[in-house]
Every structure is written in C-alpha cells, then in structure tokens.
Amino acid sequence: MAAMMEQPRRLTFPSLSPHGFHRVVYWEWGDPANAEVVLCVHGLTRNGRDFDELAQALVSRYRIVCPDMPGRGESEWLRDPADYVFPTYLTTLTAVIARLDATRLHWVGTSMGGLLGIALAAQAATPITRLVINDVGPTLGAAALERIGQYVGLDPIFDSFAALEQHIRAVSAPFGPLTDPQWRRLAETTARRLPDGRYALKYDPGIAVPFRAHNNEDTDVWPLWDAIRCPTLLLRGAQSELLSAATAAAMRERGPRPDLVEFPGLGHAPAIKEAAQIEAVAKFLGSGEA
C-alpha cells in the first residue's frame, strides 16, 4: 500500500430542489480529462468520502467522482426536509453527470446509492454502462426499514472526537472488520465540529422526515430492475438484513441477471475498503473494456 493516499479535489455546483437552489459538493479523483468515469454514490446517512479507498485503487485508470448527496457531508442542507426524496436526488445526480460532460460512465452505489443507480440505469438512453449495486435490491421489507428508522435522523452530540468514533464503530459494525486507521478516517469524514468544540454527525437530521413517513411501506421497484440492460454486479453482506438472500437470488434471475459476490460475516453494507471487496469491483469494471 502506498505510504500516502492521493487526495481528491473538492468541487461544487448549485442544484435545484422544490424550495430553491442548494450547494452540492463532490470529490473528484484522477485526470479530469479522462473519459472513463466512475460515479460512486453513498448510502442514506453517509457521504462521498466513503469511497476513498476504492478511488485510490481505481485512480490510475479512471476519473472517479463521489458526490455528497444533499444534506450529507459538505453539501448544503435543504430548506425543507420534505425535499429529501428521490426526485431531488435524481436531479442532483443528473446535474453531476451533465457537469462531468460524461456520455458514458460506470456506477457504484451503496444502499440508497444503489437504488438511485437502479432508477437511472433503467431509463432509456442511460449513460450507465456498468452498474455495481452494493447490498440493496428492488424489495426492501418494511421491518428492515423500520429498524433503520429507529436511528436515522437522531442528532447525538459528542463531547470528544473519540466518543464520536466509538459511536461510528458501533453503528457501522456490519460494514466489516475495518482497521483502526480506517475507522478513524471514517469518523473524521463523518464528524461535524460544533462552535462549542463538541462534535455531531455530518448530516442533516431532517433526512429522516420523508424516510419515516414511508418506512412502514414495502419498497418494490422490480419494474425498474427488469428494465436494466447493462452488465451488473451485485455485492451482498452475507448477514445483511436489508438485502435478503431470497431477494438477491431473485435479482440474479431477472433484469440484468447480475453476477453476485457475497462477503461472509458482513451485514449491511460492505464498506468496499477491504482488498477483496475492492478487487471484486475493480475486476468487474475493467472486464470487457478495451
């Protein structure tokens, strides 16, 4: 492993939601003139820096772009929390693609980012040429969504960075057995320093408002899945409660009929920081290319 990781460029642009414009931050790795683009989209409460290790592994071949979705990371919080819905996110991602001037791109999406990838890959004339879905599927049971709803949107305050890191280790334990430096980096990119010196999480608790309004409903986007035609890779934590083994098996028989890679001992969702997980993604993205 290299002694020092290459650092991404921090870039911004204005995007639109029903209640006005908001600033979106995205992180870019590699040659900005490279036409081979990988767009990585994070999960519900996470941010674009989750993909640092994957980007580092891909940077010699691709231009990698990792947005902080609205209300997460360094992107601006929305004026009305009711706007934290998929139409807003899809508008944001369409603006990212336009800003990159990318007519073709690969997609890596974890959880929420995977669902957004499914929605866009299903569209006519989609620019997505290869799709990686990390631990999410067309069916999300209401029980699993209710469990997520028990913690999403909470706004805990931590007296020290160490206390915040312990919180991250606890709630993100299903990600896998990360190294101490990886846990620290995950905490650093999730920490928001408050004026009084204490720490909070780097996302708007308001993202929970529309989530909780619908978390007692089953999610079913099988028609979108069935419309996808690009090569697809499905990653799954073998202990995942969000993506059941039965749903993963059904996904392999329908739509893009993806390859499936399961990681034993992990839940929701594999962090794509460990070598075997990174290698699975890198090998898939590179397969079939000139």
Report DSSP state, residue 51.
G
Domain range for 84 is: 11-146+207-286
Q: Is residue 3 part of a domain?
A: no
Alpha-carbon distance 28 to 12, whole Å? 11
Alpha-carbon distance 183 to 271, whole Å? 11
> CATH number, domain at 91?
3.40.50.1820
Query: Is 156 within 8 Å of 225 (Cβ atoms)?
Result: no
pTM: 0.94
Which run of H or E residues covers position 168? helix 161-171
Which residues of the chain fall short of a pLDDT of 70?
A: 1-5, 141-144, 214-218, 288-290
Q: Is residue 125 part of a domain?
A: yes
Q: Is residue 179 part of a domain?
A: no
Looking at the 3D structure of the chain, how many domains does it have?
A: 1
Quote the pLDDT of residue 217: 62
Q: Is residue 158 part of a domain?
A: no
Token look-up 């508008």 returns 91
Quote the pLDDT of residue 6: 77
| CB half-sphere exposure, 94, CA atoms < 13 A | 12
Query: Is 213 within 8 Å of 187 (Cβ atoms)?
Result: no
Quote the pLDDT of residue 215: 61
Listed in sequence order, the residues at least 6 apart from 7 whose beta carbon sits closer than 8 Å to its beta carbon are none
Q: Dump pLDDT digits (tens) for 203-242.
A: 999 999 988 776 656 678 999 999 999 999 999 999 998 9
Quote the pLDDT of residue 244: 93
